[in-house]
Structure 1
């Protein structure tokens, strides 16, 4: 079946045959998502299904994400708090946890950190690339031998997870994120594995906090954990070391897997466009890394790490009021805000199918939008591009010819393997 005939095929299935409709929808999402979204934007931009209401137009996605008291994170919030064992900003709406602790997060994940985090990332990335190349093999795995390790080492140095093994940081967050963010059927084994991983990471961080307290935080490093331990908030906020623990682990859970996969997927999107790759390589070697960053964020527009984000509509809401697509969203509906569709909305973006670095910021929703956009966006905006940039500064380190699209997920929701040639020695570029 051609994807562009999806609606005809879907409508031909009897309305009461929910399993068959859901199976068709999931298969099409897995094998032809871009074409499916194009069809929905053109013919059914607000599409009600048994798994939720798909919202595909850019203004409508922004409307959903701009109204957190109507469209809440109640779809995944409870699962996330099970995994973390505590409240967290991404799992809550309102002043009690979300807005208060979001403000706290912006304080400790400071915007002014970006320049030094970029330098830190460059240094660590070069070290990990050197290690991968020094093994002496013709190829190495960009995900396992580079991205996951570099991302974890940046977490250790910037967030403050010093002394906790890279594999622990990576494997725990993989199980945790799988449990709360990519487990729509609420598979109990996946959920239990995430809860176990969350407890393991909590306990390791509790030991770390104890060590840091004993050593006097005032003399400790200027990392995120150090700032948290030195911060004094009013007692009524109840911000004890358990809250420090939950927030630090929460930051890591939103970072480790996403930064790892973005490194691989952004590189993939560049190398499958040879003419774009040449321009990106040129920008990578220039003195202004911000020009290169635009290539990475445009690449991720084509392969966002969160293509769809769910919300729970808690009261009746008229979406896109006054437009031909005006739709009443009933209370208790699950609403699926489709980032991957909104970023290709022909009525908002000029030539969305073209690769154009430097599009207006509102046209790129990779780091989210609204109350629950990425709280660590200032660091993320330099870490992810710099990880890709350090690869492109190694002329021989590229995916195998013919294997440019060969991301291997190995039965998981996250890219696990991406083979690249070893190339030659590192090119030193500041």
Structure 2
């Protein structure tokens, strides 16, 4: 029985059973379920909100923040950050002020230096993982724990400015906040409390970093050494928004980490996994990795992530009555108070908008890739992200023999969490005798 037939056979009064079936199928057969919804019920009303699956409708939701707000998760995020943050707000009174400031702190000009930084840190991590494996008589290492997570954290330390904070602390605390805010639909109280506590710990750690930095920011020639230095040296013109005091800097810097650390770690892992599942694409990516055309190589990484996006769906709160997809056969009136789930993972495979969506095409138009989001709340760190994630994958493919294990052995282990925790790859070298 297909999903919709089974779902419709459940009485409307049994919301729990309907939701249980939906979540079970989404977990085990997500792509097939979304394909069925796109074809037969592209705007799908459920007890936990309206699922939007077509590209134009997802774009409409994400492009209309005055109607579809971040009110679903915004309060929880600010509770965890212990203060306001742009990802938890909409409108000119806060969101756009802080977003404009963030784009100055995370500019496109950082692309090249951040890529060089990532390359250096990635090579060092691969060397260290290889030495540890050889010394212990292993021919494999854990790609996530020994490579992706540490590299992401070291970039956060050197680029964002989380100096003196242990890399494991950055990764673990940010993951707990991510889990509580974005992957806790039933508001499990233990997960929520853990995330809020982790956010407070990050806040206090960053307060200490800021205090130490106040003693002297910048390098010997006075230029900022990292994003935190930029923030501490920035003076906003009067009347252009809230004062950029230490608390606001703290909330922004921790917010950047929450939106970056786990995302970069997982994307570096899932991109490699998706490439490994396509031998021809992997071979071509390996060839391009050694060349000068990094843009061509990067296309393979972002196309791989289209098949496994870090954020497959994002919730929005409809704050006033609205007609979605007006003038189309799927036109749907939405009442104020409706929770809407914009399924970006589905939109990127919308057969009515994306040409041959199930083919692996690294030269696709960026318009059809929503991995970094879309609209008012797309990834504010998209410029450094476009350097960090592909370069983490590229450094691995430049190492002969460092590749995922084949078959079931190469599966990712989530270890009971929403995020990949372990991914075994070969070292490419023999153990020390």
TM-score when normalising by structure 1: 0.96
User: Which residue of 2 is the match for residue 210 of structure 1?
Assistant: 211
Q: Distance in 1 between matches of 2:61 and 2:115?
A: 33
Which residue number corresponds to residue 313 of structure 1?
318
Cα distance in 1 between the residues matched to 2:304 and 2:288? 14
Partner of 2:153, secondary structure, is helix
Paired residue for 1:141? 142
Name the structure 2 match of 1:428.
Answer: none
Partners in 2 of 1:67 and 1:25 — Cα distance? 27
Residue 303 of structure 1 pairs with residue 283 of structure 2: no
String of CA shifts for 1:250-294, please: whole Å, max 9, x gaps. Answer: 001000000000011000000011111111111111111111000
Q: Does 1:101 align with 2:102?
A: no
CA distance in 1, matches of 2:429, 2:230: 40
The yes-or-no answer on 1:185 pairing with 2:186 is yes
SS in 2 for 1:214: coil
Q: Equivalent residue of 2:93, what SS? A: helix
For 2:226, the equivalent position in structure 1 comes to: 223
Name the CA distance, whole Å, in 1 between partners of 2:224 and 2:212: 13
Task: Note the alpha carbon deviations across 1:124-159, whole angstroms, 9 max, x for none.
Answer: 000000000011121100000000000000111110
1:77 pairs, out of 57, 63, 74, with 74
What is aligned with 1:174?
175
Q: Offset at 1:234?
A: 3.9
> Which residue number in structure 2 is paired with residue 340 of structure 1?
345
Query: 2:408 and 2:21 mapped to 1: Cα distance?
Result: 29
Shift, 1:220, TM fit: 6.5
Tell me the CA shift for residue 395 of structure 1.
Answer: 1.7
CA offset digits 1:370-426 (Å, max 9, x no partner): 00000000000110000000011112011112247501100111100000111139x
State how far apart, in whole Å, the 2-side matches of 1:220 and 1:197 are: 32
* Residue matched to 2:33: 36
Query: Contact conserved, 1:272 with 1:404, CA < 8 A, in 2?
Result: no
Superposed counterparts of 1:229-268, under 5 Å: 229-234=232-237, 237-268=242-273
The list of structure 1 runs, each at least 4 consecutive aligned residues, that deviate by more than 3 angstroms after superposition, is 216-221
1:229-264 deviation per Cα after TM superposition (whole angstroms, max 9, x unaligned): 000124652220000000000001000000000011
Check conservation: 1:212, 1:220, Cα contact below 8 A: no
CA contact (8 A) 1:217 1:229 kept: no
- Whether the aligned pair in 2 keeps the contact of 1:142 and 1:419 (CA below 8 Å) is yes
Q: 1:102 to 1:404 in 2, by over 3 A?
A: farther
The SS at the match of 2:44 is: strand
* Alignment RMSD (CA, Å): 1.2
Give 2:417's aligned residue. Answer: 412
Q: Structure 1 residue 368: deviation in Å? A: 0.2
Tell me how far apart the structure 2 counterparts of residues 239 and 162 of structure 1 sit (CA, whole Å): 21
Post-superposition shift, 1:326?
0.5
* Cα distance, 1:203–1:220 mapped onto 2, change above 3 Å: farther
Question: How far apart, CA to CA, are the structure 2 residues paired with 1:134 and 1:241?
Answer: 41
The reply to whether residue 325 of structure 1 matches residue 330 of structure 2 is yes
Deviations 1:202-253 (A, max 9, x none): 1111011011101245747421000000001246522200000000000010
The answer for unaligned runs of 5 or more in structure 2 is none
Are 2:139 and 2:429, in contact at CA under 8 Å, matched by a contact in 1?
A: no
On the 8 A contact 2:218/2:225 being kept in 1, the answer is no
* Cα contact 2:410–2:425 (8 A) shared by 1: no
DSSP 3-state at the match of 1:254: helix
Calculate the TM-score normalised by the size of structure 2.
0.96
SS in 2 for 1:413: coil
